[in-house]
Chains A and B, each alone.
Chain A
Amino acid sequence: MPTASAHPLLSVAALVAGYGRPVVGPVDFTLARGEVLGLAGPNGSGKSTLLSVLAGAGRRFAGSVDLAPGVEISWQTQRQPAVAGIPLNGRELLALTGASAAGLPPWLAARLEERLDRLSGGQLQFLHLWACLQAPADVILLDEPTNNLDPQGVAALGAAIAARAAAGAGIVLVSHDDDFVAAACQRVVRLPGGQRP
């Protein structure tokens, strides 16, 4: 595994984030190459909101988010696009983000030529994850990636995250699944629960 660089890919300092009003923070952390950082906390603690600010979408009320120069972000959200009736197959989907199919679990690699609307919910979720996880990127943001995955899928996801980090990416992972976070992440930032007053 690559050693953590002296210059982090991502630095977050005293960040307070939200949309219409502050939802989470202040939060401090850094992310180095090859590192998998977990953001844990109960529902409503602002984990997804924090990710959206890291991706440049949410609102920053205070603090700073600094990306190293030239860093490319890949962002997987919980939003599942509708695929019914759209004649796009798995290989074409991966090509959209520039993700390689090499290393896909055999149970999905065998179905890459099939249309997305012929895949099961779990297969489709894993394919979406793979498209974002394997896209050319330095920082990868994953939001509740274990949703809809069976134990086989969760295990394959854990292996894929470890391999991607070993290849040099920095990964921020949000999950309510504490066991998965503990297994997949080298470091965990725990957010206090509930909405801010």
Chain B
Amino acid sequence: MNLDLLSDPLFLWPCLTGLVFALLLPLCGAYLRLRGEWLAALSYAQMAAAGSLSAAALALPLVLGGPAAAFLAAAVKNAFEEAAEATRGAAYAMLLLAGWGTAVLLAANLPLAERLGHALFDGQLYFTDRSHFLAALGAFAVAVPLLRWLSRPLLLSHFYPDFYRARGRSSRRLHLAFDLVVAGVLALATTSVGVMAAFALVFIPPLAAAPWARSWRAALWLGALLGGLAHLLAFALALVLDQPFGPVLALLLVLLGAASALLARGFPRIAA
């Protein structure tokens, strides 16, 4: 394969769709990382995969199944935390396992789900077309203003939870709103680029950007830039080397994250 294939709609739409999510997911990841909730990304992605496979099994639109399952996961996670503050974070692991178990069983028992399951877990982008690209653009257009609106309260409630409470504001409602935004974005991203590629784009670009940014705003921009560049490079490599996209992107991002950490440690004066 070669890069000329990029002009083919079969590859162009997946590339553009992935690029939109590669710019958007690191923004979500920056706030998840702030709250120490990066595992939430993996559990939402896994639940979205299970939802998509369930929708396929029931002959329902995939684009509904993934987000529905991810929204359900966000609601369950918030309800779980409200009921048991002491075990905060346990909901992620339970949702992750529930999503994985459901998805694997569906893939193992239904032929259509098996094919889709491979796409979701390998990140082959087999099912990505123009409609996915438009859905990605829609998610970007909705999620970016929402994240911008939520940014100050999220940061304020993180740094000054007591101040935030004394102002009569509810951090539970705030966090539920944020979780729903992230769940929606991750669900759409998962059905387009796969579970692990979506998780890698949430987790690693903000991590790699953090040592080099002198401000929160700069970290957001740098994370999105790193995500976008990593996606384009991974897509090209996957085409040229005829490899599945998801693992190539994940490994590339792992290298990026490791290089950032090593450089920041080796050259602390250059780091912000």
Q: Name A's B-contacting residues (CB within 8 A).
A: 52, 55-57, 72-77, 79, 81, 85-89, 91-93, 95-97, 113-115, 131-132, 135, 141
B165 touches A86 (CB 8 A): no
Q: Please tell me if the beta carbons of B165 and A88 are within 8 angstroms of each other in the complex.
A: no
Decide: A74 and B218 in contact? CB cutoff 8 A: no
Say yes or no: B166 contacts A87, CB within 8 Å. Answer: no
Q: List 5 A-B contacts (CB under 8 A).
A: A77-B162, A87-B218, A89-B215, A89-B216, A92-B217
B interface residues, how many (CB within 8 angstroms) = 25
Instruction: Give CA–CA (A57, B272) in the complex, Å.
Output: 37
Which chain B positions have C-beta within 8 A of A87?
209-210, 213-216, 218-219, 272
- The CA-CA distance from A73 to B169 in the complex, in Å, is 12
20 additional contacts (CB under 8 A) given A81-B160, A96-B156, A113-B214:
A52-B162, A57-B165, A72-B167, A73-B166, A74-B163, A75-B162, A76-B162, A86-B34, A86-B210, A87-B213, A87-B214, A87-B216, A87-B219, A88-B155, A92-B216, A93-B159, A96-B159, A114-B214, A115-B215, A115-B272
In Å, the complex CA distance between A91 and B210 comes to 17
Give Cα distance in the complex from A195 to B162, angstroms: 24
CB nearest neighbor in A for B219: A87
Residues from chain B with a CB closer than 8 A to the CB of A131 are 160
Given A85-B210, A86-B210, check contact A55 B216 (CB 8 Å). no
Query: Residue A92 contacts which of B160, B166, B168, B215 (CB distance < 8 angstroms)?
Result: B215
Tell me whether A56 and B166 are in contact in the complex, defined as CB-CB below 8 angstroms, given that A85-B210, A88-B216, A92-B216 are known contacts. Answer: yes
What are the interface flags for B210-237 relative to A under an 8 Å C-beta threshold, 1 for contact and 0 otherwise? 1101111111000000000000000000
B217 and A132 contacting across the interface, CB-CB below 8 Å: no
Interface centre among A87, A93, A135 (most CB of B within 10 A): A87
Contact partner of A96 among B155, B162, B213, CB < 8 A? B155
The 10 closest A-B pairs by CB, nearest first: A87-B219, A75-B166, A87-B213, A55-B166, A77-B162, A96-B156, A73-B166, A81-B159, A88-B216, A89-B215
